[in-house]
A and B are shown apart, each in its own frame.
Chain A
Amino acid sequence: MRSVSVDLNHDASLLIDIPDALCERDKVKFTVHTKTTLSSFQKPDFSVPRQHEDFIWLHDTLVETEDYAGLIIPPVPPKPDFESPREKMHKLGEGEATMTKEEYTKMKQELEAEYLAVFKKTVQVHEVFLQRLSSHPILSKDRNFQIFLEYDQDLTVRRKNAKEMFGGFFKNMVKSADEVLISGIKEVDDFFEQEKTFLLDYYSKIKDSTAKAEKMTRSHKNIADDYIHISATLNTLSADDSTANKKHCGGYYMSSFVFLQKVEGRVASDQELKLTELLRYYMRDIQAAKDLLYRRARALVDYENSNKALDKARLKSRDIPQAEEHQKQCLQKFDKLSESGKKELTSFKGRRVVAFRKNLIEMAELEIKHAKLLRTWLAMV
């Protein structure tokens, strides 16, 4: 999962990781560990406990900060979702009577592995979020980021205050008018024109790919589960067979199904991690890039409006200096966003390509590894 955003956490001046986490009734408590040489921090090495809501707070304050309008704010990590394994565990409990002891044990093991996988994924996606921040020249210096890392009390109070201050209105605005506004403006800059077209198109396609990858992974998991039940039934059949023919049947093809199940299950989770998670992450990242475009579009609209206002003021010969000042500020803001945005989007491209490369290679290698393992086993049968 770390490979969805490569080249993070290399700068020794600020190193962040989540070395462990606790799961209490599906509420996850992360231990955020920081090692730093920066004097802005009180200690060089420290840890704090954080909840998912704290991450959301941090993300939102960054989004709402005017100064960062020209940056791609790393996407907020998704809420830890144990719904799927929890539901399956429930179903398993209900169906326990119909299964053999062996089947039940195997299914339970699979479920525990799934729980663990969800847990690992959520830890890593939260970790990547922080590491994106720490490796960003501007965002790493954010005051709230420092508070998040350092403040050894509960952040709950601060979170509540922040909500009252911003009311989350900016976030809602961004979500609604997004696409229309971005597509609507007349772009003067070629770079942004291309980026706009590219990002809008790419977003819808990667969203689709993510959904399709998820379906594929689910099918693999279903097949792995089928193999569990099939191997258990074959086992029962073989155990019941009291004739001397037992030695003909042999137990090895029963264990083949057990093996098949393990491999199928492994394929499913690897595919999940490398492919589906990759697509999911970049879908969110591209949304963050689109948000940047939106803010810039908004600034352009403001600038155009300020031009109109200035013309009107000149016509009426009234309030001209204010209108001029306002127009100047709008232009400044727009230029700043454009300059910063260009840098951000360019490095985003590079980041994306590197991450895709790493994950596609790793996925292909894993597929080959599993297939070879299965091939060797089957050849022995």
Chain B
Amino acid sequence: QNSNFKENEVLSVTLSVQYLFQLDDDEEEEEEEEEEQEDKFDISISVKDPEKIGTNDMNAFQTPLPMFRNKTFTVRRRFSDFLGLYEKLSEKHGPNGFIVPPPPEKSILGMTKVKVGKEDSSSADFVERRRAALERYLQRIVHHPSLLQDPDVREFLEREELPRAVGTQALSGAGFLKMINKATDAVSKMTIKMNESDVWFEEKLQEVESADQQFRKLHVLVESLVVHRKELSLNTASFAKSTAMLGSAEDNTALSRALSQLAEVEDKMEQLHQDQATNDTFNFAELIADYIRLLGSVRGSFDHRMKAWQRWQDAQAALQKKRETEAKLLWANKPDKLQLVKEEIAEWEVKVTQYERDFDRVTATVRKEVVRFDKEKARNFKREIINYLECLLQSQQQLIKYWEAFLPEAKAIA
């Protein structure tokens, strides 16, 4: 059926795009030097399960953007379409130094060995995690001013029917993933010894690698928290049942009633713990997973810069070689060969200039992207932690209510 997000099946995901004109910036922050203009619009993307979408899901919007034809619309996309979009964007923009947000399911392998309960691909938990992750993925893309301009993105958001990506049709979803993972891993594993003249890049790379390490550690810890929270929930439920039994065996009437009440409180606590485990997962663990994936893309952009540098260096080396050949031929008096070499030298000189310019451009892009990433990360992470803590707060409120209701029952024992 359609709600299975299995890799090798055709899935149906409904995407609705709404446009809101944002009058104020939500965050009151000190403005730092902005190299790019502020977003004058806010795109809200939501990814929903096909069953659940209805006609009343569209919210009112205000100002349409000229680049899109409609104001609010829904399209259906396969899971492989999301991956296909990523492949296209990373091919096009990655080498230029852009940090292309990765979709979920992209090499989290090896991040954690802890299984959070029985997670098969048809469980409601798994489906919801995927859906939310896809939503965040698209939100990151459309909030990136350059990526939003990309025609592939617009096509993804707008077009009724997306053709199956050529070449991926033959591949199953899993095979497709392997292809993506291999490509980016190859980039990451490059051991290019770059003469880093810009100490900013050296420091930044250190930061990114250290952050990656910490986020991975954090992910394991939070997954462990989820497991323990679920255990607490189960143990509480089991204790509640046991207390109810004890209450029914108790021969003192008031104590018997109090024990039954205690059993009920513990039942409610079980639900609280269960909800808290959901909070731990969706508002904490999943977001950490996002950051680990993103940091991978940041690493990727550094690698692309190094690739550009290497290309420039290689061109310089080739030019040098040609000049040496030219010098040799001058002495050997072979006019035809000499002419050929002179032409080649001219070509290489053009290339060297081009590649140097490319490298500078990529460097500038990477720097801009990383600054933007840092800012986004700082802002979002803070907001996400606060959101997580707010859910905890709610649950404490509930907890207080339950125990305050129980207290008179305990006092009534005689």
Contact = CB atoms under 8 A, between A and B. Distances in A.
A222 B214 contact: no
Nearest to A221: B228
Given A226-B224, A260-B392, A368 B378 contact: no
A50 interface: no
Contact of A249 (B231, B382, B407): B382
Interface in A353-374: 353, 356-357, 360-361, 364-365, 367-368, 371-372, 374
Contacts, number: 157
A366 to B, nearest CB: 9
Contacts of A237: 211, 214-215, 218
Contacts of B222: 230
Given A216-B232, A226-B225, A378-B393, A243 B238 contact: no
B221 A229 contact: yes
B217 A367 contact: no
Nearest to A237: B214
Nearest to A242: B207
A219 interface: yes
B255 interface: yes
Given A240-B210, A241-B378, A371-B396, A230 B407 contact: no
A208 B245 contact: yes
- For the complex, would chain A's binding face be called helix, strand, loop or mixed by DSSP majority? helix
Contacts of A216: 232, 235-236, 239
A230 B221 contact: yes
A381 interface: yes
B262 A360 contact: yes
A361 B412 CA distance: 10
- For the complex, would chain B's binding face be called helix, strand, loop or mixed by DSSP majority? helix
Interface in A224-251: 226-227, 229-230, 233-234, 236-237, 240-250
Interface in A168-213: 194, 198, 201-202, 205-206, 208-209, 212-213
A242 B203 CA distance: 10
Interface residues of A, number: 57
Interface of B: 29-30, 32, 203, 207, 210-211, 214-215, 217-218, 221-222, 224-225, 228-229, 231-232, 235-236, 238-239, 242-243, 245-246, 249-252, 254-255, 258, 262, 374-375, 377-379, 381-382, 385-386, 389-390, 392-393, 396-397, 399-400, 403-404, 406-407, 410-411, 413-414
Q: Top 9 nearest A-B pairs by Cβ distance?
A: A245-B378, A219-B232, A357-B413, A378-B393, A212-B239, A360-B410, A222-B228, A226-B225, A248-B378
